[in-house]
Structure 1
Amino acid sequence: MAKLGMLLSVSLVIALLLLVETTAPQGQAHAIDCGASCSYRCSKSGRPNRCLRACNTCCQRCGCVPPGTSGNENVCPCYAKMTTKNGRHKCP
């Protein structure tokens, strides 16, 4: 009888973990077109290829790109906080 209770408890925990794993939103699961967002973000850049490379990296990691061609970083805090190995802002 005790084994049945333990088996039932373990089965319930496994079922709950599977439910949480399949329904929890993932960090990268944002529906954003990084290519289009970054193309607009970098449209006025003096170095568009460098801007696009950095922006796409940031977009893929954060799942967002701030609106406009510059600024507005409060809309996407992850994007604003990302830095290079030298401590400079990574995202344009």
Structure 2
Amino acid sequence: MRKLLFFCRVAFLCNVCFLLAWLIQYLPVSPHGHIASTIVVLGTGLAVILNIAVNFFVVISLLQKKMDWSVFPRWLIIVNFLFLLLQIIILLFN
């Protein structure tokens, strides 16, 4: 369960990078954008895949009643799921 908690936290950070990468499309970026390129790679390349995997394993753990809610912050699971819905909407309709 500790590994799943770690990946939930990493997925949250990647989801924040996904939002920033989506906003970078509409904002000017400096020509020396090392930070911007890192955000784009984490946001577009890793966030969707990691978020799908994390939410899948969270749902499986919930269905098998293996998840201990005292270890997992509920807000983190809910926010990751909401980010997954947002990612699906943005990727399908953009």
Relative to the length of structure 1, the TM-score reads 0.25
Larger relative contact order, structure 1 or 2 (CA cutoff 8 Å, min sep 6): 2
- Bigger proportion of residues as helix: 2
Asked which structure has the greater CA Rg, the reply is 1
